Structures are given as C-alpha cells and as structure tokens.
Structure 1
Amino acid sequence: MTTSLYDSSESLFLGFDLSTQQLKIIVTNEKLAALKTYNVEFDVLNKDVYGVHKGVIAIDNEEHKGAIVSPVFMWLDSLDQIFEDMKKDSFPFNKVAGVSGSCQQHGSVFWSKQAEAALAELQAKSTLTEQLKNAFTFKHSPNWQDHSTGKELAEFEKIIGADNLADISGSRAHYRFTGLQIRKLATRFNPAKYNATWRISLVSSFLASVLLGKVTTIEEADACGMNLYDIKAGDFNEDLLAIAAGVHPELDNVKKDSPEYVAGVTALREKLGKVRPISYESEGKISPYFVDRYGFNPECQVYSFTGDNLATIISLPLAPNDALISLGTSTTVLIITKNYNPSSQYHLFKHPTMPDHYMGMICYCNGSLAREKVRDEINEKYNVKDTKSWDKFNEILDKSHSFNNKLGIYFPLGEIVPNAAAQTKRSILTAENKIVDVELGEKNWVEDDDVSSIVESQTLSCRLRAGPMLSGSVKTTASTSPSPPPEGDDKQHLHHVYKDLVDKFGELYTDGKKQTYESVTARPNRCYYVGGASNNGSIIRKMGSILAPLNGNYKVEIPNACALGGAYKASWSYECEAKKEWIAYDKYINRLFEKSDGMEKFEAEDKWLDYFTGVGLLAKMESELKHN
C-alpha cells in the first residue's frame, strides 16, 4: 500500500483502544474522517507465551478464587506489534500530530522503582518487553471481570456504606474497582510486592505512560472508577485511601494519626500520584523510542487517555441531557448530565471532555436474552418455522400504541439494577388502582401481552433511573430547545399528572431513593440507540415513544467507538491547543455527524405522558421483587 490514502490529510491522529481481547488503532485526520483501522488480537499474539483465552487468564484456586487477570507484557508486545504492522503498511508516522485513546476500565498496573529510568532510557534497537522486564512489581493486571475481591467489597461497604460510597466516589463498591484490588494486594495477596511498588497506574494512564516514556498522571474521568476518588472534592478521599492501604482504624486496628496510619495513607497517595483534571492540554511529546523505531514525528503530542465507556460517549456529539442506549446481550444506558445525583444502583463519572459535566452509566444484565426468550415463546405459539425470526414479535409490538395497565418484569438472570434474583413477575393495575399479580395463561394475560410488556418494563426502568440524573438539569418544556413541546406539556399540566401519579401509587422510591416531581418529569434531550437490537425498528420505536426525548430519537452506527472517541479527543485537544481556547466538544464533533450516514433520525409516537402510569406501576412492582 502507498501513502496515497493520507496524502490529502494535513495531520493524522491515532485513537487507541486497549480492550480485553485486542489492541486497536484507528487513524483519523483533521476533518474527523476515519481512514484506516489496525488491530492485534491477544489470543493470537504470542499465544504460547501468555496462555490467555479471550485476552485473560482465569485463576481458579482457593487463594485467588475468581481472579481474572491480563499479562502486562502482552500489552507491551501488542503495542510493538501493531506499530510493526503499520510500518509494513507504509503508514506515514511522521504525519501524526497527536494520539489519545481508551483502555479497559478499572484495571491497574503496578510499576517498580526501576520503571522511571527504564522508560526514560528506551532504545529503538530492542523491544518494549525486553527493556521493561524489571519495570513492574506485579506482572498481571486485574481485569474488569475479576471477582476475587469479595472480602474487600464487604469491608469497603461495612465502613463507608454503599450509598455513602456512591455519594463520594460515584459508585458503590464493585469487585473490579481499583481501590478494592489495591487492598487485596496490600493486605492479603502480596504485601511485600505492594510495598515495593513505586507507582500505580490505571490501564489508561499506563498506555499513555509508555507512549510518553514517563509515568504520567491518572485522568480524572477514569479515576472515578476506583472507589478512591472524591468526585466533589476533586481529590483522593483519605478514609478510602486508608482502607485500600490496609491502615484503617476500624478494619486494621491502626490508630488514626499514628505513624503507621500516616505512612500508609501517604505511601498510597504517592503511588497513585496526582489526578489530572479534565483538560485538553498535552501530557508531553511522544517518547524518542517511537520516533527512532517507527518514524513518529518528534513533535507528536500525547493527550490523556480515558476509560472505554467514557471514550464511547465522545465518539458521538452527545450534549448535556442526551442518552446513549446500548442494546446488546446486556443493556447499558449512558447519560450526559450537569447534575451530580449519585446512587448505589448506577455509576457517575466526570465527563472526559466537558468540565462540570458527568457521565451516568446504568448497567442491566437482562437485555436481549430476556427479549429473545419472549420472542421464542411467541414463535412457538404461532408455529413460526424460523424460530429466530422477529417478525411475529414485531407485528404484535407494533399494534401496541398506549399503556394498557399491564406490566411484566423479566429477569432470566439475576439483575444488577435493581438488585434482584432471577424471576418473572406480571402485574395488572385494576380500575380501582389495585395491583394484582397474575400468571401467564390466566384470563387476563397471554403470551402476546409479554411482547409489549417486556419492552415497556425495560424502557421504563431506564426512564425511572435516568430521571434523577437529568433532574435539575433539564426543563420539562422545550423553551430552550428548537423543537416545540408536546401537546399539553406545560408546567401546570405536569403538576396535575404528577399529583395523579402520587394519588394512585403513593410516594415512589427507586433503589431506596425517593422520586421527586423533578426526577419523574425530567426528559432527555436526545436519545441515541446502538447495539444489536437497535437494528429492530419496532423495539426502538417503542422505546422512543416511552422515553420521548425533546429533540428526537436516533439510530446510530458507531463501529470502533472507543478508538474513534480517542482519535476525536486527540484532534479536539490539538485544535484547542492551536487556538489556545476551550472549544465545546459536542459542537466540535457535531460537524462530522451533520451529514453522516451513520446517524439516522427516526420517528416515534410521543407517549411520554401516557406512560406515567407505567412509571408508577413499575416502581411498586420492583419494591416487591425477590432479592439475591
């Protein structure tokens, strides 16, 4: 291949995506055009050396039960390999003006005292692995799938409490989060190696460090996935550091302000280093190693790397109060908000490119699996030959134009949000406003009812939990929006609808928190649908009618979203630096999508007011679920 693909580009930008199973790089230019993608699969790369399956090693023994890790040297090998592949492809490294990217969240890398010198002295004649062989105290990084920190999870929540921990760090305790992983290493796995550790990086700051040739700071948005960072204070929380370091007075019988306590907290703070506030500023120029070995421009700037979910939201022109709904095996809802309203049932992170904004993330186990189960039952009932066909399911769903006071909750798997055991629950709201549980096959409930019910309940759950994040940051009318408000959507009428809701159901609570007028009546600005089920027009039209965003529903194709987000972040940062001013990020990349084939607006009935009854019914049904 010649460089003709790149001849018309003034500058090139690389977006990295170091995920669980591969390292990917996407090449874009100053016009945000995606030009080419390169990737290295970990299961193929040096397979006999690392013995990974789907990019990880599962450790199944009594001491480390549930541990899932990735070899750090495998990542280094993949970086050299992908650049070698690009070099063979005659890629013009000299035209790269900036790099950024995303990495799997919550993983951590532990640098030894030899790391600083080793990174600074990298020579082009040898590989990264050869030269950094003594740069790590732990040769493996905990993966986001790791479940070996049950003891630590219980300890964090015993001392801090799930809700309080969410208030501080944006999330309750999770197995994979860095603070728990550090406590495991510091107190029971290998305290000696932990004490010998010089610095601790997240995977995102690790990759940025290698490219810079020096250990760099943790980026603030990704720091929110550690259970250590106080988001409102903008610093690590001392109480959480004490737990992670194994010197907490209540857990570890160490007196506060004793030399042992002070030393433990101080040492961990130094190992973690500073957290880099959200910024467009470069972290430095690329390491001479990559200039000499591959031909990078010595002026190429390395901009901060972030986490994978965070990179996904910056692959689209998401504005405040927009929602990105990923409809895969599981369902993930990402929301951009100015409102810091944390909950133990979802996550809040700082936004990686928009100061004073946050990304809310709601994760459900039961997505397509639950819908497919209903589809299969419908196909069996109607003797559909193609058992995987959605035609009959969609035909039934399309006939549903309003809420019929029937709702089901379908959890083939135990659910994360709400925290509930595997179960199915079907309920009917009577004319007397009584909630009656029914079984499939009874007079008032047949298989066809499950079709609309499953899509409605999944969407209403998103609506219930998005509300508190949007509350206080979105108006219930479209007065600040170019589109007119739906008929009857005025403040007086909404108060009447809300009062009627409370009269029917009483006060509503979701995940233990009271819903308010503001949270129940908050609406998203725009909704974007991605993932497998977004290709089913009937499903997303129904979801769109229930969520009823003020400014439209969009089906989006964003292949390589994490890498793209990284590339866009690099070119945005580069332009901000050139102009020496902060450019609004959503406006910066909106120019790409104004004429994009990858974004398709679709029409959906506005049934937002009609589904207020469904909001109340779901909240009451969830309060009676069986818990794990």
Structure 2
Amino acid sequence: MRSKFITGYSSRFRCEDWEASTSACYRRNFSSLFCSERFQFTSNCLVVQWSGDNPNSLAGLTLSNPGDLAISLGTSDTVFGVTDVPEPSLDGNILPNPVDPSTYMVMLCYKNGSLTREDIRDRYAEKSWDVFNNLLEQTDPLNGGKLGFYYKEHEILPPLPVGFHRYIVDTLTSGPLAETKERQKDEFDPPSEVRALIEGQFMSMRGHAERCGLPVPPKRIIATGGASSNQAILKTLASVFGCPVYTVQRPDSASLGAALRA
C-alpha cells in the first residue's frame, strides 16, 4: 500500500522539489495542487514554514521579547521563554524562535509538577487546597532557611531518583556559598513543608532558566495550567522570580500560535 501510494504520486513528490531548510517564520509558498484537489484548499492559500507544538505555544501566549517567560503548572511543569543570548547546556532545550529569527526559545521540563504538589497537600494539608494555601501564607518568604526538594517521580531536570530532601540553611541572603552551612532534616512542620515544596520548585526553575540564558528576573511571567488558578502559589511564584505574574486560560495555545504565525 505504501509503495503504491508513493508510486501513484511520484510525479508530484520529487526530491529536487524540496528546498533547503528555512526559518520557522518564513512564508513558504501557496497550497499545492495535491492539497487543493484532495482537501479543497484554495489555490491562493499561503503555507507558512512548519514549527512544533511548544514553539507554537510560545507564539500563542504572545511571548515575543527577551524577558518574556511562560510557566505551565500542570501534571508536569514546563518553563519556556525568549532570549537573545542563549547558553546551551544539558539543563534544557534551545530552539529557534518561530516568531523572531534573531532570538531563541528556551524550554525546561520538570516531571514533578501538580502530582507532587497534590501529594504534599494530602500528607500535610488535610487533602484540601484551602488548608494548603493557609499553611503557605503562614510562613515568610525564604521559609526561615528551610529548603525542600521533592521528587515523587524520577525527575528529568535535574535527573534524580525518587526522594524527598529537606535542609535547614544558615543563611539564604548573602555571603560566600562555600561558607553556607546546612543541616538535613527528616521532616518539617506543615506550614514549612508546604512553603519548602513551592519555593523549592520555583527556585529550581529560576536557577535553570538563568543558566540557559533567560533574563532573570524576567520582565513578566504568563502562568497557565491547572495550578495557575491558585493565587497563593502565584504569589510565591512572583516573589521567587521578582516580577509580575499574569494568567491566561488558552487550552489551544499551540493551534492559536500557528494561526497567528500564519
């Protein structure tokens, strides 16, 4: 069947017809005769160079300038933004910007997102988001030096096994890193546990974003995903990154971005 299909259209699909790769924001050509006959596209329908779902989401969320950052708070968390000085590393992905060929898109993916937040909620906040938010707001930023790294699932960034790691750090404000002293703890009190989780997730995002060349602090953050409706979590996000946070509910940001690009 495959060979018959290829043979049947061999006169229309020839290797020499394919041109060299071009920018994702390049207008390629008009709709082909095949698409017009098979799918009823009009002959004057413009074709824009292809791009992937995540780059199109960047366009759909109107991230256009260095310093723009989007954070999707879902089952897994994803950070992506625009930079003109990328720093390629093993921490994340550097992609061409589908909107502006002079800049780049950075994408960071974390496996431990909402499912890990829900796990800590169930353990320490009576399985209630209201209780969880109240506990979060009972503690001050920096959590009195209490840090936590929570991996309910094997983490992607950084690549680490399952485990919860809690520390009390003497100072988080100033001084040489080599002089910082920490003590490992088995568990915190519930308010400190909740803040350690949320601040730990966002500090990890900030550190990896800066390492990949994203401007820190960013000019603005656009938050999406299920947890973006939680005002207490967004308040902590703004505190950690030091910038305004906006929300937008666009479940179709990838297709919207493709349409905007076209």
Instruction: Using structure 1 for the length normalisation, give the TM-score.
Output: 0.38
Question: Is 1:461 paired with 2:217?
Answer: no
Select 2:185's aligned residue among 424, 430, 438: 438
Q: What is the match of residue 332 of structure 1? A: 78
Query: Following superposition of structure 1 onto structure 2, how do residues 90-129 of structure 1 map, counting pairs within 5 Å?
Result: 115=6, 118=9
1:336 and 1:358 in contact (8 A); partners too: yes
What is the identity, as a one-letter code, of the residue corresponding to 2:183?
V
Query: Is 1:529 aligned to residue 231 of structure 2?
Result: no
- The DSSP-based 3-state class of the residue aligned with 1:332 is strand
Tell me: CA distance 1:373–1:301, structure 2 relative to 1, closer, same or farther (3 Å): same
**CA separation of 1:119/1:560 partners in 2, compared to 1, >3 Å: closer, same or farther?**
farther
- In 2, are the aligned partners of 1:280 and 1:353 still within 8 Å (CA)? no
- Which of residues 277, 287, 297 is equivalent to 2:23? 277
Matched, 1:401 2:146: no
Q: 1:438 deviation in Å?
A: 0.8
Task: Tell me the equivalent position of 1:322.
Answer: 68
Distance 1:119-1:359 versus aligned 2 partners, 3 A rule: farther
CA distance in 1, matches of 2:82, 2:225: 19
1:454 Cα offset (Å) = 0.4
Q: How far apart, CA to CA, are the structure 2 residues paired with 1:116 and 1:311?
A: 34
Alignment equivalent of 1:540, drawn from 231, 234, 253: 234
Q: 1:419 aligns with which of 159, 172, 177?
A: 159
Per-residue CA distance 1:407-456 (angstroms, 9 max, x = gap): 1110011111111111111000136842000111xxxx223211011000
Segments of structure 1 that go 5 or more residues without pairing to the other structure are 1-72, 74-110, 122-134, 136-197, 200-213, 218-273, 381-386, 475-521, 571-628
What is the match of residue 555 of structure 1? 247
How many angstroms apart in 1 are the aligned matches of 2:7 and 2:86?
37
Please report how far the alpha carbon of residue 216 of structure 1 lies from its aligned counterpart in structure 2 after TM superposition: 4.5
Scaled by the length of structure 2, the TM-score of the pair is 0.87
Alignment of 1:287-306 (within 5 A): 287-306=32-51
Q: Secondary structure at the match of 1:425?
A: strand
Give 3-state SS (helix, strand or coil) of 1:524's partner.
Answer: coil
Aligned partners of 1:437, 1:396: CA distance in 2, in Å? 22
User: Does residue 195 of structure 2 align to residue 452 of structure 1?
Assistant: yes
1:346 and 2:92 aligned: yes
Report if the CA contact (8 A) 2:92-2:212 is conserved.
Answer: no
Counterpart CA distance in 2 for 1:294 and 1:412 is 47
**3-state SS of 2:9 partner:** helix
How many angstroms apart in 1 are the aligned matches of 2:152 and 2:17? 45
Judged with a 3 Å threshold, the aligned counterparts in structure 2 of structure 1 residues 396 and 295 are, in CA distance, closer, same or farther, namely same
**Unpaired runs of at least 5, structure 2:** 172-178
Whether 2:251 is the aligned partner of 1:569: answer: no
> Offset of 1:544 from its aligned partner?
1.2
Q: Which of 311, 316, 319 is the matching residue for 2:56?
A: 311
Q: Deviations over 1:15-71 (max 9, x none)?
A: xxxxxxxxxxxxxxxxxxxxxxxxxxxxxxxxxxxxxxxxxxxxxxxxxxxxxxxxx
Instruction: Kindly indicate whether the alpha-carbon contact (under 8 Å) linking 1:528 and 1:556 is maintained by their aligned counterparts in 2.
Output: yes
Taking the aligned partners of 2:32 and 2:7, their CA distance within structure 1 comes to: 13
Q: Which residue of 1 aligns with 2:176?
A: none
Q: 1:115 to 1:292 in 2, by over 3 A?
A: closer
Residues 1:353 and 1:117: Cα distance change in structure 2 (over 3 Å): farther
What SS class does the counterpart of residue 451 from structure 1 fall into?
helix
Secondary structure of 1:306's match?
Answer: coil
Q: What's the offset of the Cα at 1:313? A: 0.1
Distance in structure 1 (CA, Å) of the matches to 2:3 and 2:58: 34
The answer to whether the aligner puts 1:391 opposite 2:130 as a matched pair is: yes
**Compared with structure 1, are the counterparts of its residues 325 and 119 closer, same or farther at alpha carbon in structure 2 (3 Å cutoff)?**
farther
Q: Is the 8 A contact 1:337 1:469 kept in 2?
A: no
- Deviations along 1:148-188, one digit per CA (max 9) or x if unpaired, are xxxxxxxxxxxxxxxxxxxxxxxxxxxxxxxxxxxxxxxxx
Give the 3 Å change call, closer, same or farther, for CA 112–538 of structure 1 in structure 2.
farther
Q: Is the 8 A contact 1:414 1:422 kept in 2?
A: yes
Deviation, 1:296, is 2.9
Change (3 A) 1:117 1:466: same
Which residue pairs with 2:120 in the alignment? 374
Aligned counterpart, 2:169: 429
Which letter maps to 1:394? Answer: N
Separation in 2, partners of 1:336, 1:119: 41
Q: Tell me how far apart the structure 2 counterparts of residues 116 and 565 of structure 1 sit (CA, whole Å).
A: 35
Q: Which amino acid aligns with 2:222?
A: Y
> Larger RCO: Structure 1 or Structure 2 (Cα < 8 Å, ≥ 6 residues apart)?
2
Q: Structure 1's 374 and 314: CA in aligned 2 closer, same or farther, altered over 3 A?
A: same
> Given the superposition, is the C-alpha separation of residues 463 and 533 from structure 1 closer, same or farther in structure 2, using an over 3 Å criterion?
same
In the aligned structure 2, how far is the partner of 1:366 from the partner of 1:358? 26
State whether residues 313 and 565 of structure 1, in contact with CA within 8 Å, keep that contact through their aligned partners in structure 2. yes
8 A Cα contact 2:170 2:181, kept in partner: yes
Q: CA deviation at 1:278?
A: 4.1
- In the comparison of the two structures, how many residue pairs are matched? 253
User: Is 1:359 the counterpart of 2:105 in the alignment?
Assistant: yes
Shift in alpha-carbon separation, 1:373–1:352, aligned structure 2, 3 A: same
Distance 2:169 2:183 in 1: 6
SS of corresponding position for 2:157 = coil
Indicate if the aligned counterparts of 1:335 and 1:361 stay in contact, CA closer than 8 A: yes
Deviations 1:472-510 (A, max 9, x none): xx5xxxxxxxxxxxxxxxxxxxxxxxxxxxxxxxxxxxx
Give the whole-Å Cα distance in 2 for the aligned partners of 1:317 and 1:116: 43
How far is 1:295 from its partner?
3.9
1:115 is displaced (CA, Å) by 3.8
Supply the distance in 2 between the matched residues of 1:293 and 1:114 (Cα, whole angstroms): 14
Q: 1:290, CA displacement in angstroms?
A: 3.7
Alignment of 1:587-626 (within 5 A): none
Q: How does 1:211-290 map to 2 (within 5 A)?
A: 216=18, 274-281=20-27, 283-290=28-35
